Amino acid sequence: MELNPRLTRLQRRKLLLEQKDHALLLLKQARLQAVTSSSRGASAATSATLIFAQAEAGTAVCIDPSGLLLTCAHCIAETEDELDLSKPHHLLFASGTVVTAHCTAWDPERDLALLQITAAQLPPVGDESSAGFGNWQFPAIGIADRAPRVGTKLVCIGQPGSEDLECEEAGVETGYEVLCASVGQFKGYAEGQDVQDNEEIGALMHRLWSGGHS
């Protein structure tokens, strides 16, 4: 695979990826661009969606144009002992743009984490700012200020796992696209469960497919 010269410079200066990880990042970038270019224009939610460049699945969403990202805590660390706030995390926007982000908040009970973009491959599409990275406005989607009503339409966008964890044989690939979307409905919360506790299955009930998106 021919390396993108711009990405190579970024990798040397900021991403500091191992060769194998860099090759995987390029593969995911190419697959993302193929998926988004075949659609009839990405929605605002899709544009604000990011996937982790690591081998495992993982998804994030940009919730502020400054580059604040929301993801699952277990995508950053499984335990507090594993948590390293200085560790860079490499992600790709649905557009294929590569960014580096650092964790700023980690909550294992809610299984949520916040990351802040600290470096980016290219300015966001349509951003004409010449003032540099600190002034770039990234595609973002806002967080609702109230709970949805039962029956509200939901859309789930994410990166499914590449390995079928329900298969008895290890290493069987799922064959899913690098970014998938499904539509369903909000069905409320499970009775008797703490809605803030997501250490296990959580209390949220819905009818949509979220196949290991994290």
Domain ranges of the chain: 5-135, 153-207
| Model confidence band, residue 90 (pLDDT cutoffs 50, 70, 90) | very high
- Report, as an integer, the average pLDDT of 6-20: 52
| Model confidence band, residue 30 (pLDDT cutoffs 50, 70, 90) | low
- Report, as an integer, the average pLDDT of 200-205: 80
Which one of 27-31, 68-72, 117-121 scores highest in mean pLDDT? Answer: 68-72
Contact predicate 15/88, CB 8 Å: yes
**What is the 3-class SS of 88-128, one letter each residue?**
CEEEEECCCCEEEEEEEEEECCCCEEEEEEEEECCCCCCCC
Give residue 200's pLDDT. 76
Q: Which residue has the higher pLDDT, 39 or 64?
A: 64
Question: Mean pLDDT for the chain?
Answer: 77
Dihedral-angle region of residue 52 (phi above 0 means left; psi in -120 to 50 means alpha; beta otherwise): beta
**pLDDT score of 98 more than 50:** yes
- Neighbour-count burial of 72, counting CB atoms closer than 10 A to its CB (0-12 exposed, 13-18 middle, 19+ buried): middle
| CATH code that applies to domain 5-135 | 2.40.10.10
**pLDDT score of 188 more than 60:** yes
- Report, as an integer, the average pLDDT of 122-126: 67
Query: In residues, how long is the chain?
Result: 214
Read off the amino acid at residue 192.
Answer: G
- The pTM score is 0.74
Percent of the chain's residues with pLDDT above 90? 28
Which one of 36-40, 116-120, 152-156 scores highest in mean pLDDT? Answer: 116-120
- Neighbour-count burial of 93, counting CB atoms closer than 10 A to its CB (0-12 exposed, 13-18 middle, 19+ buried): buried
